[in-house]
């Protein structure tokens, strides 16, 4: 086994660990909590509470993805509908 194989295995493992941490942070830290806050706001604090938080993690995450994508679409739509300044080339 030469040095190149050793370095590739070490750095490959580190990159997999970093990727796992970042994906877990993005999915759980942003998408899940975004969906959780929106659901709590829409239901006036009634859902999800107690054991529903752990039972319905997939539903909360799906709702977070849905709300996040709708937010992006709305902001892109508002930006596209805004009046554009005439360009200098015209």
Per-residue tokens: 62: 């799906």
Alpha helices in 1-90 (DSSP H): 3-24, 33-42, 51-55, 57-81
Q: Rounded CA gap, 54 and 4, in Å? A: 44
Compute how many other C-beta atoms are within 10 angstroms of the C-beta atom of residue 48: 19
Per residue in 42-66, pLDDT (tens digit) is 988 888 777 777 788 888 889 999 9
pLDDT of residue 54: 75
Query: Residue ranges per domain, the chain?
Result: 3-76
Average pLDDT over residues 14-28: 84
Per-residue confidence (pLDDT) for residue 14, from 0 to 100? 86
Tokens encoding 15: 């990159």
State the CB neighbour count (10 A cutoff) for residue 89: 4
Query: What is the per-residue pLDDT for 19?
Result: 86
77-87 pLDDT, tens per residue? 776 666 767 66
């Amino acid at each position: 086994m030469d040095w190149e194989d050793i370095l590739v295995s070490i750095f490959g493992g580190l990159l997999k660990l970093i990727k796992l941490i970042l994906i877990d942070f993005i999915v759980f830290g942003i998408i899940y909590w975004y969906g959780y806050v929106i659901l709590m706001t829409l239901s006036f604090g009634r859902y999800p509470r107690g054991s529903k938080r752990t039972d319905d993690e997939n539903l909360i995450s799906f709702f977070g993805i849905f709300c996040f994508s709708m937010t992006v679409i709305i902001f892109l739509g508002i930006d596209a509908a805004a009046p554009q300044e005439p360009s200098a080339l015209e």
